[in-house]
Structure 1
Amino acid sequence: MSLPISILDLAQIGSDETAGDSFRASVAMARNAERWGYHRIWYAEHHNMPSIASSATSVLIAHVAAHTERIRLGSGGIMLPNHAPLTIAEQFGTLAELHPGRIDLGLGRAPGSDQQTMRALRRDPASAESFPQDVLELQGYLTGPSRIPGIEATPGRGTDVPLYILGSSLFGARLAAALGLPYAFASHFAPDALHDAIAIYRREFRPSAQLAEPYVIAAVNVIAADSEDEAQRLFLETKRKRVGLFVGRGRTFTPEEADMILEAPAGRQIQAMVRYTAVGTPSVVRDYLDGFADRTGADELMVVSSAPERDAWMRSLELVADVTGLASRTAVTAG
């Protein structure tokens, strides 16, 4: 495989962990990923989720960037309707000044939370309607000229932080195409519109100052292990964990209860969410990723290691790097 491969780090907090433990794991993984040859790592904005530590996304990016040297880091994504575009321009402008050439700004319009949390964020439920205008306002602060006379982002102005539109529907595909921006599809949890969205994006793409040709990043779950049995065990544990998160809303299920739910109508959504998952030994995972890249025509893959155990999470990413030859490709490029 010759495509760049990147990582979406969900910054998960394990059952016996603190947020600090999660941050330390993210730093350790990023330092390894840099050595293994991954292209970039993104972190997503989520709120009021006890199992995810990336709510202050720009702060986490800054922390990881300070402990790494080369790998690109960014948001996958910042939920722009939660924020004033000027604030995000200042945050990511600061990151870009501190770590030149390493910062990405992926943008989404979902709340990253539930309705009650939206109220706590002081978010207007109608704010998503202005997402396209907010993206353009933000872009103006970073690249110039500002779309609001007399208002400049400092830091931010002239940093040209690259923007990416994230999506799981056709809306994001059309917006990314109209603005001439790269498009990242969240097929790791919302697979249904993947192929239609990519087709629309490529068909409707208009070149821009940032991007001359369409560029698609497709996300895919990965559980690679040294044996097939171990990979399948981890995959089952991953699905059981999602039963507690999405069906139980915090309730703890026994393995037997979780398996029954997975086989029932209530579990169909969870089974559908993980449709695009590479599970197995390294060679099996490599073949799956090759096929996924061919079917989607993606320009870059973003893997999500959903293994529920910390050591298995790290090992999965290491095996993917080994079997796809990332380190050797990076060495050749660097040379």
Structure 2
Amino acid sequence: MSTFTPKLSVLDLAPILAGGSARDAYRRTLDLARHAEKLGYHRFWLAEHHNMPGIASSATALLIGHVASGTEKIRVGSGGVMLPNHAPLVVAEQFGMLESLFPGRIDLGLGRASGTDMRTTQALRRTMGAGGADFPELLSELRAYLDPTFEPNDSGVRAVPGEGLNIPVWLLGSSDVSARMAGRLGLPFAFASHFAPDGLHGALKAYRSSFIPSRALKEPYVMIGLTVMAADDADEARYLATSEARQVLSLLRGRPDKLQPPVEDMDALWNSREKALISKQLDFGLIGDQATIREKLPAIYEATQADEFIITSHLHDHQARLRSYEIVAETAKEMWP
């Protein structure tokens, strides 16, 4: 086994529980971030989604500020901000303000998609425009606001704050399109294997083979998403994981909902096709006890050579969620002391 130690990070969507509110979700998110910081997790990212009853992280920059203000050293960022939904200048100013308030702790992860359905996309953008095809131009404009030496900004418009600040820019993706773009630009790349595992290896190959060193990054740097639901007992972990299965099921049926409690029997809720689709997605993740983590995490590392794992755990019970991250951190320290 390699002696290299991959970093561990957290991806949070501020899940809203059945019967709960966004305010409750923000309290749990901050508690989780503080817990992750104590456990030694490297970064804590929040993701932009809209029109989702079970996700409270839509105003991502605001929530990043809330988490950063309540923690001390863990990096906090976006995983990601969906750039086509925003004017690049606004993103540069928002993250310039965050970096000014919390220097050396802010990451800007960017996605090409909208993070929502078509009707909500239109409500966000007012017009559909290029439908995301103009992402390379938007990205170049944003990077020029942050670093005028990267691509001179002839418009006379400056990002204040933002200009000249060292804010790491990441590209996120679930296919090889963003992977190749990140490689050509010499940027770090995060792959959403927690919901699109089939494209993982192709995207990693595309990223590494197309990588050109840049001022931002001299060698390829890959982070991959993992769904992890760990408990002290493997059967308990599988039971807790049914909350995630129920949430994915609601998305498949076009009726997104708040995060529901776990159930003893998923077969009473899904049909055979739905079971196959959801099981395939969750099978790439780690659901079980410490022995499961000890077996599967090194295998995923050896297969991907990932520099970092960003872990998401949609568990209904908050204490069980905290314990899940504890188990991962404890097991990783045993494997990679």
* Common fold by TM > 0.5: yes
Which residue does the alignment assign to 1:130? 134
| 1:325, distance to aligned residue in structure 2 (A) | 1.8
Which of these residues, 110, 119, 123, is aligned with residue 122 of structure 2? 119
| 2:97 corresponds to 1:94 | yes
Question: Counterpart in 1 of 2:67?
Answer: 64
What's 1:174 paired with? 180
- The equivalent residue for 1:307 is 315
Q: Is 1:140 aligned with 2:148?
A: no
Structure 1 unpaired stretches of 5+: 330-335
Shift of 1:237: 3.4
| 2: CA distance, partners of 1:194 / 1:29 | 27
Question: Contact 2:15–2:314 (CA<8 Å) still a contact in 1?
Answer: no
SS at match of 1:221: strand
Q: State TM-score, norm by structure 2.
A: 0.92
Whole-angstrom distance in 2 between the partners of 1:221 and 1:46: 18
5 Å matches for 1:7-86? 7-86=10-89
Contact 1:243 1:258 survives alignment (8 Å)? no
Corresponding residue of 1:332: none
Match of 1:223 in 2: 229
Change (3 A) 1:251 1:9: closer
Q: 2: distance between equivalents of 1:123 and 1:208?
A: 35
**CA displacement at 1:250 relative to structure 2:** 4.5
Residue 333 of structure 1 corresponds to which residue in structure 2?
Answer: none
Q: Normalised by the size of structure 1, how large is the TM-score? A: 0.92
* 8 A contact 2:176–2:203 mirrored in 1: yes
Determine whether 1:211 maps to 2:243.
no
Q: 1:248: how far off?
A: 5.6
The residue aligned with 1:234 is 240
Cα displacement (A) at 1:125: 4.8
What is the CA–CA distance in structure 2 between the aligned matches of 1:158 and 1:217, rounded to whole Å?
26
Deviation at 1:289, TM superposition (A): 1.1
CA distance in 1, matches of 2:283, 2:248: 14
Q: Is the 8 A contact 1:46 1:113 kept in 2?
A: yes
Identity of aligned residues (%): 46
- Equivalent residues in 2 for 1:247-266, closer than 5 Å: 247=253, 249-250=255-256, 258-260=266-268, 262-266=270-274
Q: Please state whether the residue corresponding to 1:223 is helix, strand or coil.
A: strand
> What is the letter of the counterpart of residue 70 of structure 2?
H
2:251 corresponds to 1:245: yes
Compared CA separation, residues 197 and 79, structure 1 to 2 (3 A): same
Rounded Cα–Cα distance in structure 1 between residues aligned with 2:315 and 2:19: 16
Shift in Å at residue 229 of structure 1?
Answer: 1.3
8 Å Cα contact 1:43-1:57 kept in structure 2: yes
Give 2:155's aligned residue.
149
Q: Structure 1 residues 139-148 or 43-52, which shifts more?
A: 139-148
Letter of the structure 1 residue corresponding to residue 158 of structure 2: E
Between stretches 92-101 and 1-10, larger displacement belongs to 1-10
2:54–2:257: 8 Å Cα contact kept in structure 1?
A: no
C-alpha contact 1:180 1:206 (8 A) present in aligned 2: yes
Change (3 A) 1:324 1:99: same
Q: 1:53 to 1:231 in 2, by over 3 A?
A: same
1:298 to 265, 290, 306: 306
What are structure 2's unaligned runs of at least 5 residues?
none
Residue type of the partner of 1:216? V
For residue 260 of structure 1, report the CA deviation from its aligned partner.
5.0
**1:251–1:290 Cα change, 3 Å:** closer
Q: Is the 8 A contact 1:262 1:270 kept in 2?
A: no
Give the 3 Å change call, closer, same or farther, for CA 76–168 of structure 1 in structure 2: same
Contact 1:240-1:259 within 8 A present in 2 as well: no
Is 1:202 aligned to 2:242, yes or no? no
Q: After TM superposition, give the deviation of residue 257 of structure 1 in Å.
A: 8.7
| Displacement of 1:40 | 0.1
